[in-house]
Structure 1
Amino acid sequence: MELTLPGSLGAAIVIDEITQVGQARRCAQQLADEAGFDDADGGRVALVATELATNVIKHGGGGVIYLREIPGRRTRGVEIIAVDRGPGFSLANCLPDGFSTGGTQGIGLGAVVRQSQVMDVYADSRGSVVLARFYPRQQADEDLRFGVSQTALHGETLCGDGWALANKDTTWSFLMVDGLGHGEAASMAAAAAVQAFVAQPLGEPAALMVDLHQAMMGTRGGAVALARVDTAQGTLRFAGIGNIAASLITMESARGLASHPGIVGAQFRRAQAFDFGDIIGQLLIMHSDGLQSRWRMADYPGLLQRHPAVIAAVLHRDFSRGRDDATVMVIALERPHV
């Protein structure tokens, strides 16, 4: 199967009063309809959006519901992520129906588990992140182990960051671009890079960088990172220009991937690719400079084992600078499923 996905910003709904629960439900239902879900599957999405948004208020003191369409191997899916800065909770306690710490009906996260195909949680004293992913029940699909958390500066509708991914057989390719500045001009630069990537996404990163450079001429230009992964061989080839951070993460170490100075679309000396082996079982994390680079996975016990979408949301919540567009992409590097 071949897959090429030009990334989108998704929706971020601030939840700080009960009336906003309905907004989250309606937005989730609309996303399910656009993804081709039938009434029953759309109802599952709406139910979970309602439950998670209510929990954000009752238990987290307010937060954000993130919604986006996601690809499966064969179908389109819907992702809901609830993020708060509350006191955290015990997952074991919250799964059974009937349990409640906030005077609610106590439907419990067990309902989220039953209604979604993928559910994962990370909670500690800094807050909670709950992930739910949905695919049509009648079309069993394989969840792709990646996650993206992205926001535009101050709630703007246009984002100067862009991302994309592609897959064919055991080869994966990932793009992250940060257009200079923010707003419409930065968004145009990022869009030009994404469009050029989509045209031939599985090319060699150094050669593809030259194509993106040509495509971004006439725009503000920006920083670009490209990663090409062969999961059968366990290898990764990386090329970066500018200040997008990229790392390979394990339980024991964090290995930074080097980028060269320059601005794609304006000037840089050359694009050089670097090869890395034995990458299976590691995480690839790439983020724009809207995210601080001082995070350490060791400060979050157990987070490394969570779904990549949960990891992306936690890092975004705790390390977004708040004065620029911010995007973080997390990919679990795994052997192909037989």
Structure 2
Amino acid sequence: MGLNIPSALTQVLLIEDVSQIGHARRTAQQLAEQSGFDETDAGRVALVATELASNILKHAAHGQLHLRLTGNQGVELIAVDRGQGFDLDSCLVDGFSTGGTQGIGMGAISRVAQVFDVYADQRGTAMLARLYPRASASKDMRYGVSQHSLHDDPACGDAWHLVIEPGRFSVMVADGLGHGSEAERAAQAGEAVFAQDAFFDAGELFNDLHIGMNGTRGAAVAVAQYDATADSLRFTGVGNIGASLIGPGKSRGLASHPGIVGVQFRKAQPFDYAQVGGQMLILYSDGLQSRWNLADYPGLSHRHPALIAAVLHRDFCRGRDDVTVFVIALEAIDG
């Protein structure tokens, strides 16, 4: 059975004062309830939100709590800050505290959440928790996305879409020209076409995207199709969606062709990459600076893809456009 996961903005809650902890708890609990969690499981989500928000205030004084649904019955929470970091192993021991408290927060999070991961250095901390209903058979999917509109506009000119089938997945990232409602209309038109047949021949798929986006501003579009059985990745891009393959000790950019899908482009030539299993694929719109290098973040490439997306957004968001960072492990996904 496959999964079709549509684009959705990351919900961002500012954590700057103790009064905002309660708001974070209620917002996270409501998100869980709306996605089908029962009262007990929604309470687990609320507990984790409380501990993550409290941890931000204790260790960094201020930061953000990012919320989103995983697409396979899960709720994702990521605490992001620019504090001085901390020793993770020590903080996971109940009773240890760097903030003069009882020191039970991080240990509680790691026990309650089905997925827990942290990255911390001198630039700050990103702490991930994913929770699923106790009765759910869903397994964690090693992908992550951080998507934000300019100035928190309800309309976002970026779109992403992930389709998962046994042994393979296909993902698209689109960036409509400019930002606001017209850019959103262009990106969503492309997403609607992609969702219909995400595994279609790349050249034909881009022709369909071009037709489907005709009459809009158009967009930069990238599509990556991964086959775990063949251990191969096919990448096709038109415009300035950034793409990188991250492997052990190496990183390489993936080339796109010039043009604007829906307006004018000469060709959409796919590029095939073999023996990519175990590597990480990162796609990003031009709202993210391109000068980042994961080698500057020791150990980050081994952390959960959702943490990588959150850290890159924190440190390299341009702040003058919509931004999407999509990160996925190249492996068979069982959602």
Q: Is residue 205–residue 227 contact of structure 1 (8 Å, CA) maintained in 2? A: no
Q: Which amino acid aligns with 1:138?
A: A
Deviation at 1:93, TM superposition (A): 1.2
Q: Which amino acid aligns with 1:30?
A: Q
Q: Is residue 142–residue 333 contact of structure 2 (8 Å, CA) maintained in 1? A: no
Q: Trace 1:1-338 onto structure 2 (pairs within 5 A).
A: 1-72=1-72, 76-335=73-332
The CA deviation string for residues 46-73 of structure 1, in whole angstroms up to 9 with x for no partner, is: 000011011111211211111001123x
What are structure 2's unaligned runs of at least 5 residues? none
The CA deviation string for residues 257-315 of structure 1, in whole angstroms up to 9 with x for no partner, is: 11000001100001111111001011000000000111111100000110000011111
Q: Which amino acid aligns with 2:148?
A: T
Q: Which amino acid aligns with 1:140?
A: A
The CA deviation string for residues 221-271 of structure 1, in whole angstroms up to 9 with x for no partner, is: 110000000011100111100000001111221111110000011000011
The CA deviation string for residues 147-176 of structure 1, in whole angstroms up to 9 with x for no partner, is: 001111112122111100001111210000
SS in 2 for 1:4: strand
Deviation at 1:336, TM superposition (A): 5.8
Q: Which amino acid aligns with 2:135?
A: Q
SS in 2 for 1:321: coil
Rounded Cα–Cα distance in structure 2 between residues aligned with 1:18 and 1:190:
38
Q: Which amino acid aligns with 1:45?
A: V
Rounded Cα–Cα distance in structure 2 between residues aligned with 1:80 and 1:44:
12
Deviation at 1:198, TM superposition (A): 1.0
Q: Is residue 294–residue 301 contact of structure 2 (8 Å, CA) maintained in 1? A: yes
Rounded Cα–Cα distance in structure 1 between residues aligned with 2:131 and 2:275:
32
Rounded Cα–Cα distance in structure 2 between residues aligned with 1:159 and 1:61:
30
Deviation at 1:38, TM superposition (A): 0.7
Deviation at 1:103, TM superposition (A): 2.7
Q: Is residue 179–residue 187 contact of structure 1 (8 Å, CA) maintained in 2? A: yes
The CA deviation string for residues 18-65 of structure 1, in whole angstroms up to 9 with x for no partner, is: 111112111111110111011111000000001101111121121111
What are structure 1's unaligned runs of at least 5 residues? none
Rounded Cα–Cα distance in structure 2 between residues aligned with 1:145 and 1:2:
16
Give TM-score, length-normalised by structure 1: 0.96
Relative to structure 1, the CA distance from residue 23 to residue 205 in structure 2 (aligned partners, 3 Å threshold; closer, same or farther) is farther
Q: Which amino acid aligns with 2:46?
A: A
Q: Which amino acid aligns with 2:12?
A: A
Report percent identity of matched pairs. 57
Q: Is residue 247–residue 286 contact of structure 1 (8 Å, CA) maintained in 2? A: yes
Give TM-score, length-normalised by structure 2: 0.97
